[in-house]
A and B are shown apart, each in its own frame.
Chain A
Amino acid sequence: MQQRKIRMLTVVGGLLAGMMLLGASAAQADITGPMLANTCAGCHGTNGISGGPAMPTIAGMPAKYLKSIMADFASGKRPSTIMGRLAKGYSEAEIALIADEFAKQKWQNAKSAPQSKMATAVDAKLAKEGEKATKSAKCDKCHEDNGVFQDDDTPRVAGQWLDYLRFKVQDLKNPELKVPQADKMKAGIDKLSAEQLEAVAHFYASQK
């Protein structure tokens, strides 16, 4: 009987707590980093580890880098297909939450995508030529350690999905697009032909 009384108290306490919660329900809890970042995962993969050859893995990239990319997408400075339309949908604070969330995740090198029929396979011979090209064009001045290095201005490119890298080097060489990175990388890009840039993509994709 004594025990039962105590339990009754627990019930009352529970109800009170519930009522307090109900009272607070007019204002929803704030939006969280995972809530925002998970909306990206349909394309960029769970926790930012992409499963699609043309979608970049963004897990573990520096938050500051991700924030600047999103700002450039939203302003149109960085050309895109859909990212500009999406980036405009978030406030600066929300972008910061998204960037922090992906920065916390652990990078994983791209794996094969057996159910992709359009994916380009890494070609070892091309990768070798690409390695030479990165040396002659001094890509490794910023993309140090064969592309493993990353900082606030430089994304990791080693082990990134090949088709994403192919698109990016094609964009760099495309005068119609005016890619902002092309300014910084101009000297290097000018030195390399489209074929050599393709080889560079194969090289970085082949790195771990």
Chain B
Amino acid sequence: MGAKTALYQEHLNLGAKIVDFAGWDMPLHYGSQVEEHYKVRGEAGMFDVSHMTFVDLKGERAREFLRYLLANNVDRLKSPGRALYTCMLNEKGGVVDDLIVYYFDETYYRMVVNAGTHDKDMAWIEGHAAAFDVSVTELTEVALLAVQGPDARSKVHDLLSEKQREKAEGLAPFNAVESEGFFISRTGYTGEDGYEVMVPADQAVDFWRRLHKIGVHPVGLGARDTLRLEAGMDLYSAEMDEETSPLEAGLKWTVAWEPQDRNFIGREALEPQYNATPARKLVGLILDDRGVLRAHQRVIVDGEVVGEVTSGSFSPTLGKAIAFARVPHDVSGKVLVEMRGKQLPARVVKPPFVRHGKACFE
């Protein structure tokens, strides 16, 4: 028996297949994860992501603290509600976690970090916050619903109060607004437009049911994974971990190197690789043959194992298998991937694979 979100009973009522995810009992799918995938690409789907960790950071030196804690630079956040994707590194330049940080004002930020890394993240954040006299408060009485897909925003708008709706409609991507108890963020993990809406836990069931009533389809973690993979988004513990530098995980764009005098955890360790070419890189793979790419399959070039698949699955949109793989920096063109005793050719491409419902890889 794992931890349960405020929506657990709703998942059961909808016939969800429940699986353990980082100690939480979460819905894998509600019948067909491929159907759910299509609903998000074509209409609108909703995900319960309340198992994630929400942390509020407050203090006079909050900004200074986050400039030090995070590899991306919170100085980029200038207007209230602005969001930033970033890694949190250890001293070796490995990734402790990836997260989204929101800016409210110079003394108040919010972070959303992964469920699977909850304990070590809290210890890491609290351990470093003390020196800056920043308070770290986990939000536990909230639920987070991701509503994603081409129709997602208008569906959510239909359920908001006039005041909330006005604020939401004005949101640019990667911006959020708090209104009448709802924290509405134009972010997501699917490659589609939409919102992540944080609501008080005791309002979660009502909001979920109202969304369902107006035709927003429940979507489980299974489709969440294929959607993010098609969208070319990394998953912590698959594409990166404490032993992997963000530069070898396709995340160089999230490391703010300038200004040179900003000292953040991991900077010194990354310095030698930042201006050189890292030994390994993260690439996309497409399998044109029948078969499914899966994590840990070996990648072979000229008869030698050179790397492995970090995440792989069947892409419902493309009708074939896609994957991320970590390989030496000079690998391109075609590789072989070993699966079930066979070696099948795969094309090396630059992710993402799908944007707004269509193939888009190079």
Whether both chains belong to one complex is answered with no
